Structure formats: C-alpha cells, structure tokens
Amino acid sequence: MKDKLALVGFEWAGPQLRAWAFDEEGEILSSFQVREDAVAGHADWPGRVRFHLAEWLGENPAVPVIGCGDVSASLLRTSDLQLTVPMSLAHLAGHLGIESGIHLVPWIGQQNPPDLTCGAETVLLGLGEAAETICIAGQHTQHCVTEHGRLIGFSTEITAELRDILLQHGTLSISGSGTQTFDMKVFRDWIERALDTGDTPPVFAVEAAIRQGRLLPENKAAALAGLMIGADVAANYDPGDEVLLVADGPLLEAYGFALDALGAEVVETSALEALQDGLFEIADLAGLLGED
C-alpha cells in the first residue's frame, strides 16, 4: 500500500475520527475509524490525528493529509478564510486552511439565518452538479439548495441529536432499564402524523400516548424518531419536490420513507461515498496530489 499511497483524507465529527488512504486515481486502499473526544477537547488535535494515522499506517504518512468536519472550526478565527453563500463549491479548493501541516476544508457560512456547513460542504462537492435539492441526513441534517455547482442556501437541523437528548433527560427520558424495541409500524404512523402540517402533534404527544395506554413504552424511541423526522421533512419539502437523499443505514431508510410519504420524488445515494469523493476531489483541485 505504501508505494501506491497518494493522499490521506479524514473526517473528525463528534466522537468519531475516520480516515481513508487513497491512491492517485482516488481508489481507497485502506480505512480506519476510532472513537475520540470531541475536537474542542483537544488543545493539540493535530497531534492526535498524527498519532492515530501513525498507528494505522505504521508511520506518519509522507503524502498530503486533508481533513474536514469539526477540525475546520478553527479556521473561523481567520477572517480571510470565512466563506459565505452563494458560492461555487469548487472554490473550496482555493481556500484550504492548514494547521501543523494538515490541510483543512473550510466551512461555508450563511448570514440569514446564521448557519454553517460543518462538513456538509465536502459531501456536496462529492455529489457533483446533478442535484439541486439535497437532504444530507445525519446526527445533524442539512437541507441544501444548489445550482450548477453553487451552494445557494442551506438549513441545519439537529433532529437526531435532539431525539437522543429527549430520550436521556427530562419528561420523555427512558427511565430505569426499560428496553426499547423498534417497531416499523409505529415509526411510520408517527411520521405520517407529523407530515399533516395542519395538525402536527407536539413532541409531548408521545409521552401522553404512553400514559393513555395508546402507545407501548418500549416503542417510545420509534414514535419520537418518526414524529421528529416527519416534522423535519415537512418543514423543508413539499409534495412533488425532487430530492437527492444523501445518507446511510437506518437514517437512509427513515428519511427515505418520510420523503416518500410526503410525495416527494426521491433519489438515494451514500453519504459516506460522497464524503470520500469530496475529500479526494478537493485535494485534486487544490493540486495536493503528487505533493511530497
């Protein structure tokens, strides 16, 4: 692998650091992921990245390293690297930051309302120019509008994170050792309720339904996920919209069902693959490939 290695790309988002070794054609030679503290908790995050890369590859890579995600927050301190919509995604390559020899993809900002891409910009570049209405579903979900490779506007919703917080603290928290069972029928039922924007239930309706004996306690998480994802989709799309859904695993299925139930025309693709393609494309456009 060492002879073919041309680039190392990584994403550090929340408690997860994952990286990929690319050859000069963009093919992935190897990958790894590890749980880490949030970037903000590391005074020397570049040192942690280098440590993990050396553990993975057997030595510090002699090729360029490019990263995205939470690590790029540090670039907001540098005024000349603050980018705002509308802007061409390809221009990201001309504005890479660098810290301790690590190239960083800058976030794109929005003024009204205030927002930041926080890594979604790399995924968007990896998608190419085919789609104009894009839903990138994750722990934070970005709803984006692009036009001929330009990011026009976006909205970040912390739907999945809020669901987790509600289930851990407060009125809707799962008490004791109660086991949750994912019930697809329950999940779909609460999605459909949320899509009725004229009569969308409040979040407390999940708790009320349990106390009234209309919802099993072990289905609380499924109902809450359905309600919140349905509300997220209903707030950002209309029936008949053509939406590119960018996600993986359960979130791909969940948002896919919600968009279908709304009546949108949905095309699905992998967020992980778009992220990988985006990192390599940005490095290529920036002229990093072939650097020593």
Per-residue model confidence as pLDDT tens digits over 57-70: 999 899 999 999 99
Peptide bond before 86: cis, by omega within 30 degrees of 0?
yes
Q: Which pLDDT belongs to residue 290?
A: 67
Q: Which pLDDT belongs to residue 78?
A: 66
Task: For residue 280, give the nearest of 123, 102, 51, 73 by alpha carbon.
Answer: 123
Taking the domains of the chain in order of start, what are their residue ranges? 7-128+272-285, 159-270
Per-residue model confidence as pLDDT tens digits over 154-170: 999 999 999 999 999 88
Query: What DSSP element (H or E) covers 284?
Result: helix 271-285
Inter-CA distances, 207 with 68, 125, 197, 212, 259, Å: 38, 41, 20, 9, 25
Q: Is the pLDDT of residue 29 over 80?
A: yes
Burial status of residue 240 (CB atoms within 10 A of its CB: 0-12, 13-18, 19 or more): exposed
Query: Class of the 7-128+272-285 domain?
Result: alpha beta
CA–CA gap between residue 161 and residue 175 (Å, rounded): 19
pLDDT-derived band at 197, boundaries 50, 70, 90:
confident
pTM equals 0.93
Give 234 or 131, the one with higher predicted confidence. 234
- Identity of residue 236: N
Per-residue model confidence as pLDDT tens digits over 62-105: 999 999 999 999 888 765 657 999 999 999 999 999 999 999 99
Query: What DSSP element (H or E) covers 184?
Result: helix 184-195
Q: Is-contact 260 108, C-beta < 8 A?
A: no
Q: Confirm whether 7-128+272-285 and 159-270 share one CATH topology.
A: yes
Query: Class of the 159-270 domain?
Result: alpha beta
Per-residue model confidence as pLDDT tens digits over 249-289: 999 999 999 999 999 999 999 999 999 999 999 999 999 99
Q: Which pLDDT belongs to residue 76?
A: 83
Per-residue model confidence as pLDDT tens digits over 46-56: 999 999 999 99
CA–CA gap between residue 123 and residue 110 (Å, rounded): 17
Per-residue model confidence as pLDDT tens digits over 206-227: 999 999 999 999 999 999 999 9
